[in-house]
Structure 1
Amino acid sequence: MIAKSVLLASAAALLLAACAAAPAPAPAPAAPPAPAMSQSEATQRLPALFARSDDAALDRNPLQALARGDMRNADRFGNYLEDAYFEAERAAHEAELRELLSIDRAALSPTDRIAYDVFRRNKEQALKGLRPEVVALSVVRPINHFTGMHTFYPQMVSGRGAAPFRSLADYENNLKRMDGFAAQIDRAVERFREGMARGVTHPRLVVANVVRQLDTLTADGVEGSPMFLPVRNFPEGVPASERPRLEQAYRDAIGGKVNPAFIRLRDFLRDEYLPAARESVGLTQMPGGAMLYDMAIESSTTLPLTADYVHQLGLSEVARIRGEMDAIRQEVGFQGDLAAFFEHIRTDPRFKPESAEALTQGYYEIGRKVDQRIGTLFRTLPRTPLEIRPYPDFIAPTAAGASYQQGAPDGSRPGVFYFNTYDLPSRITTIMETLYLHEAAPGHHFQVSLAQENEALPNFMRFGGNTAFVEGWALYAEKLGPELGLFTDPYQRFGHLDDEMLRAMRLVVDSGLHAKGWSRDQAIEYMLSNSAMGRTDATAEVERYIAIPGQALAYKIGQLKILELRARAREALGDRFDIREFHEQVLGTGALPLTVLEAKINDWIAGKRG
């Protein structure tokens, strides 16, 4: 999981995913078929459109620009909950789609056709999200405990996130952004009130989790805020004479603006919104939720799948993986059934980390093993460095077991593999190798870094993406463990299956919650009975699915598609199949919709066969 994102583009994209669109007119009709044009004209117009689109998007989205290292509007937070913002987004998508359709796709090179197809799908999907019937149900639920500006932004400006703190200007810009941040927190309250009036609310458990997050963010006052950390660690670029003034200014901004806005939001959610919030947890149990869940499935998987299909696929995968797990149970000589083996893994002290430091050193050692053999599977390695860190305390209680935060394209900020040390006795060491493969190398760190380092791609492909490809690749990367010298221990192989089981269970549980009336407790018990997960992790997972319906479906769907394409290529090419070349094809053009990826691999196979 990327930290993150529902889609991987930038930290700012997460905020935008959480802050839904405001009402807008329906998308404009598609343009007529483009007239035939020369290859020269088509290949000039297409990248020019991409460049203008990207530049305009960064101008409209200052936090996205900031995460990309573009400082043009670094003093602005942005008005992400205002109608005018979303009206501008809609107008831009419509205009850019019309211009794209005026370009003759047939005159483009194969690579440019891929870019054309991805750009078109992106615009069409964005406009679907701006339909009035969709946005009316979304904008009134602006944050939840998994994606929201209340946790995203403090981490972004903590000095360890995407916002830079290298100069006096960086510190001054952040002070100005904090004004906008506090204003948007208050605007979120107004949006929540609109939803209350229409009976469209979050589930109560989501609201209770947000209240706890806000309690944690404000419990230790100004000096305990993650936003205060930059003035505790001034870089050389900030003159010593300016530091006392800046420290006081940050005290005033956090103590006088941000924390009071947090407290207003918390008090409103606790005292007014929570009693009005719905008891149900499934999206289809909310007015209009069935439509939203169908859209969430397609958005997440990039395929027009039904909830019933997803549910049955999940049940099939769960059954397969249980069989492989039971084989390992027999291999290690465990006396007892699979449920007892799960409990053994879950509770035996030998599978618990001795300390947070021991966990850290364990991940360092796994990283060294992977580095020794990674060149056998990949021709191109990321230039962006990778660091390993525990989650910050204010995020850890509701965070997943691990996640990845992308680095800066120029290498000035490393990619970070975060792992969770909260409730350490609930953590299981058997999944360490698998978590590293998924979140770090060759999972998210490779996919994200190789895309954004590839300056030959248009920016929307370097920095954009979709969950099915991004998370599908990371889950596929787990399968590379044996080829990278890992999984030699049967318990680590079991951990790999346990992690794959998590993704298979997500198909069952997410669709169960949001389309089949499952309860929170029913979903938790299903996960505990089919894996060695601890209750803390299972609870966090289920509450994540409740907060962001459909997102968790993408992992398994994407992995199965990449495995299918690898098997197809190996069978078709025989001795000419090169795993390094296959990986180059998969990763070489950014995170593609699965339909576009399949077409690309089919063309590559055909080209190799002559």
Structure 2
Amino acid sequence: MRLTIAAVLLSFAAPAAALLAQAPGPAAPLPRDSAEDARLKQLFSDSDERGLKLDPMDAIYRGDLRYADRFGDYLTDIRDEQQRRGLEDDLATLARIDRAKLTPVDRVAYDVFRNEQTVGLRAFSPAILKIRRAMPIDHMNGLQTSYPDFASGKGAAPFKTLADYRNNLTRNAGYAAMYDRVIARFRTGMAQGIVLPKLIVRNMIEQFDNLLAEGVEGSTFYQPVAKFPAAIPAADQATLKAAYAAQIRDVINPAHRKIRDFLASEYLPKARDAVGLSAMPGGADYYAYRIESNTTLPLKPDDVHQLGLNEVARILREMEAQKAAVKFTGTLPDFFHNLRTDPRFQPKSAEEVRLGYEAIGRRIDLRVREQFSLVPKTRLEIRPVPEFRAKSAAAGSYDAGTPDGSRPGVFYYNTYDLPSRYLWGMETLYLHEAVPGHHFQVSLAQENTALPAFIRFGGNTAYVEGWALYTESLWRELGVETDPYQRMGGLNDEMLRAMRLVVDTGLHAKGWSRERAIDYMLANSPMPKTDATAEVERYIAMPGQALAYKIGQLTILRLKAQAKAALGARFDPRAFHAAVLDAGAMPMPVLERKIADWIAAQPRG
């Protein structure tokens, strides 16, 4: 017997109080707040609330369930217009607030907000919006990469009450319906000559094939009903199982099949062979926008390219030193080959990888308070990447927890193609993704209730990824990478971010091919071809995003050097790290101004 989803939703109608969380409202006033501070905080609150209504899943990630019964109007013209008008209104309101009358903390927040809204508004200029609409999803950014895990019972969506299960069915229906809008936008792009590269389309087809291959009861979407909390009565469990199976069979899988077949039969023949934006109408201007939106700086592609070449040359010299330390007698490329192929560097099992990361975490925890006075309360868990997205996923990633501690932060490690997950790369990856990298920065911001919500839960790539890359430079202080091979892992990761400056600009501004980009990365690092291929295909799908890591890291390192020079023996790394972290993510110009003010405010010896 088939049970309709609508019947299930009606049967589980719950009291409104069970579905609503208290609206966050503006941040509480502080003792020194003026009337201008209050107006600013109200603006932040109003803007954030508008954003949560537009992005219900973002609210759920934050533990706010007020809009958990909806999916959101993703990829609609109405939504685009609402976002554009909201940004314009925010900037107009901000212009009426006197920055000089704000407290120092709120001046920083004012500057962050102005920068983010200004750059965000550029995304809705006609030329940029035209391209964004024509390419609605790709293999890195489409909801097919994240929503299944979100709704799996192991992701951000909660499954504690009947209302939670009911809301998930509603969101799943919205997710499936979204693919008709995806197809419509792709068709518009085809008519305009604005299409994705073929390799991205093939990657998406494979992703949808993987989701379809799961069937019904093996589907990621079925997992919430594979095991229930004790609070769900047995009769309701049976009803929910039938409803979830019916939805997967009759709604979700057909939507996946429809988009998959469209991509394979209609879109792929029209997709472009060239991989860079320079091969596409309006591509140069779009790349300029992507550079600034990711790095927070209006950098020129040629300047970024040269900076990358300089960094690559510097890191190669340090790699030569590690080669000499282990008495390897061949060339540096020979050493790279040895690191890729020697069985002693290859894990024997996924369990060995898990245990290795857990041991690294314990070692770093013993030393981390020597460098940090701010330590998050949010727990950290270590998990493997879900199988359905492992092939195209990075070697490691981080998923934020909730501020109330109900969901931990998660460090995901990838065991796809296990022989290529080298043991010498584990310590630096943990520093970056977990402690004191993403887990510290993201959790500390979320836990800081004195910050406005757009800073607590937002951020920019240059700061977020720049911080994580910067923490890799603390290997000596945190007692890791003491072995030359692990140090090579650290240099390999830094080399990756330096090569990104060269390769991303090469692909999108200088006409590089996918193969040239992969060959460049293999020639200048010991990274395996599996990783180099995934990285290059990521840059093709996400122009400019990969530039932000190194730009952000170099900015923080430069500010640290300035603080050391100015303060001398009075320099305390714990205080410096607190100054970088205590106001949440900032665009690079705002961070520079904040640290300059912090240095000037330090007591004289």
Is TM > 0.5 for Structure 1 vs Structure 2?
Answer: yes
Secondary structure of 2:602's partner? helix
Shift of 1:57: 1.5
Match in the other structure for 1:58 = 52
Match in the other structure for 2:295 = 301
Task: Supply the distance in 1 between the matched residues of 2:33 and 2:440 (Cα, whole angstroms).
Answer: 33
Residues 331-350 of structure 1 show CA distances to partners (whole Å, capped at 9, x for unaligned) of 11101000000000000001
Amino acid across the alignment from 1:190: A
Task: Supply the distance in 2 between the matched residues of 1:256 and 1:309 (Cα, whole angstroms).
Answer: 52
Q: Which of residues 193, 208, 211 in structure 2 aligns to 1:214?
A: 208
Match in the other structure for 1:41 = 35
Amino acid across the alignment from 1:405: D
Q: Which of residues 550, 572, 579 in structure 1 aligns to 2:544?
A: 550
Match in the other structure for 2:94 = 100
Residues 39-76 of structure 1 show CA distances to partners (whole Å, capped at 9, x for unaligned) of 72212211111112112221222111121121122111
1:275 aligns with 2:269: yes
Residues 378 and 405, structure 2, Cα contact 8 Å, conserved in 1: yes
More moved, 53-62 vs 298-307: 53-62
Secondary structure of 1:139's partner? helix
Residues 291 and 298, structure 2, Cα contact 8 Å, conserved in 1: yes
Task: Supply the distance in 1 between the matched residues of 2:92 and 2:368 (Cα, whole angstroms).
Answer: 43
Task: Supply the distance in 1 between the matched residues of 2:452 and 2:67 (Cα, whole angstroms).
Answer: 22
Q: Which of residues 453, 470, 477 in structure 2 aligns to 1:476?
A: 470
User: What are the residue-to-residue correspondences of 1:251-262 with 2, within 5 Å?
Assistant: 251-262=245-256
1:186 aligns with 2:180: yes
Task: Supply the distance in 2 between the matched residues of 1:233 and 1:568 (Cα, whole angstroms).
Answer: 55
User: What are the residue-to-residue correspondences of 1:332-411 with 2, within 5 Å?
Assistant: 332-411=326-405
Task: Supply the distance in 1 between the matched residues of 2:231 and 2:439 (Cα, whole angstroms).
Answer: 29
Task: Supply the distance in 2 between the matched residues of 1:229 and 1:284 (Cα, whole angstroms).
Answer: 43
Secondary structure of 1:412's partner? coil
Amino acid across the alignment from 1:301: T
Shift of 1:545: 0.3
Shift of 1:312: 0.3
Residues 404-450 of structure 1 show CA distances to partners (whole Å, capped at 9, x for unaligned) of 01111111111110011001012211110000000000000000000
Match in the other structure for 1:449 = 443
Shift of 1:361: 0.2
Residues 424 and 488, structure 2, Cα contact 8 Å, conserved in 1: yes
Match in the other structure for 2:131 = 137
| TM-score, normalising length: structure 1 | 0.93
Secondary structure of 2:194's partner? coil
Secondary structure of 1:388's partner? strand
Shift of 1:256: 0.5
Task: Supply the distance in 1 between the matched residues of 2:214 and 2:99 (Cα, whole angstroms).
Answer: 57
| TM-score, normalising length: structure 2 | 0.94
Residues 214 and 220, structure 2, Cα contact 8 Å, conserved in 1: no
Task: Supply the distance in 2 between the matched residues of 1:402 and 1:103 (Cα, whole angstroms).
Answer: 42
User: What are the residue-to-residue correspondences of 1:457-476 with 2, within 5 Å?
Assistant: 457-476=451-470
Task: Supply the distance in 1 between the matched residues of 2:504 and 2:136 (Cα, whole angstroms).
Answer: 21
Shift of 1:391: 0.5
Residues 120 and 293, structure 2, Cα contact 8 Å, conserved in 1: no
Task: Supply the distance in 2 between the matched residues of 1:178 and 1:51 (Cα, whole angstroms).
Answer: 29
Residues 374-428 of structure 1 show CA distances to partners (whole Å, capped at 9, x for unaligned) of 1111112111100011101101000111110111111111111001100101221
User: What are the residue-to-residue correspondences of 1:403-552 with 2, within 5 Å?
Assistant: 403-552=397-546
> 5+ unaligned residues in a row in structure 1: which ranges?
1-37
Task: Supply the distance in 2 between the matched residues of 1:286 and 1:452 (Cα, whole angstroms).
Answer: 39
Match in the other structure for 2:8 = none
Task: Supply the distance in 2 between the matched residues of 1:269 and 1:568 (Cα, whole angstroms).
Answer: 52
Match in the other structure for 2:554 = 560
RMSD of aligned Cα (Å): 1.0
Residues 417 and 440, structure 1, Cα contact 8 Å, conserved in 2: yes
Q: Which of residues 307, 313, 316 in structure 1 aligns to 2:307?
A: 313
Amino acid across the alignment from 2:297: L
Secondary structure of 1:350's partner? helix
Shift of 1:227: 1.1
Secondary structure of 1:398's partner? coil
Residues 211-263 of structure 1 show CA distances to partners (whole Å, capped at 9, x for unaligned) of 00000011121122211111012112322220010011001111110110000
More moved, 444-453 vs 226-235: 226-235
Task: Supply the distance in 2 between the matched residues of 1:530 and 1:237 (Cα, whole angstroms).
Answer: 56
Secondary structure of 1:202's partner? coil
Amino acid across the alignment from 2:468: A
Task: Supply the distance in 2 between the matched residues of 1:196 and 1:323 (Cα, whole angstroms).
Answer: 47
Aligned residues: 573
Match in the other structure for 2:79 = 85
Residues 168 and 239, structure 1, Cα contact 8 Å, conserved in 2: no
Residues 169 and 244, structure 2, Cα contact 8 Å, conserved in 1: yes
Residues 307 and 501, structure 2, Cα contact 8 Å, conserved in 1: yes
Amino acid across the alignment from 1:557: I
Residues 345 and 423, structure 2, Cα contact 8 Å, conserved in 1: yes
Q: Which of residues 307, 325, 328 in structure 1 aligns to 2:322?
A: 328
More moved, 407-416 vs 62-71: 62-71
Amino acid across the alignment from 1:552: A
1:240 aligns with 2:199: no
1:289 aligns with 2:283: yes
Spell out structure 1 runs of 4+ moving beyond 3 A: none
Residues 54 and 73, structure 2, Cα contact 8 Å, conserved in 1: no
Secondary structure of 1:418's partner? strand
Secondary structure of 2:382's partner? strand
Residues 2-35 of structure 1 show CA distances to partners (whole Å, capped at 9, x for unaligned) of xxxxxxxxxxxxxxxxxxxxxxxxxxxxxxxxxx
Task: Supply the distance in 1 between the matched residues of 2:559 and 2:398 (Cα, whole angstroms).
Answer: 26
Amino acid across the alignment from 2:278: T
Shift of 1:325: 0.2
Task: Supply the distance in 2 between the matched residues of 1:78 and 1:528 (Cα, whole angstroms).
Answer: 42
Task: Supply the distance in 1 between the matched residues of 2:89 and 2:532 (Cα, whole angstroms).
Answer: 44
Match in the other structure for 2:565 = 571
Match in the other structure for 1:74 = 68
Secondary structure of 1:155's partner? helix
User: What are the residue-to-residue correspondences of 1:224-235 with 2, within 5 Å?
Assistant: 224-235=218-229
Secondary structure of 1:360's partner? helix
Task: Supply the distance in 2 between the matched residues of 1:368 and 1:40 (Cα, whole angstroms).
Answer: 45
Shift of 1:326: 0.5
Residues 78-97 of structure 1 show CA distances to partners (whole Å, capped at 9, x for unaligned) of 11111111111111111111
Task: Supply the distance in 2 between the matched residues of 1:555 and 1:98 (Cα, whole angstroms).
Answer: 32
> 5+ unaligned residues in a row in structure 2: which ranges?
1-31
Amino acid across the alignment from 1:294: A
1:176 aligns with 2:156: no
Shift of 1:609: 5.1
Secondary structure of 2:398's partner? strand
Task: Supply the distance in 1 between the matched residues of 2:150 and 2:281 (Cα, whole angstroms).
Answer: 34
1:126 aligns with 2:120: yes
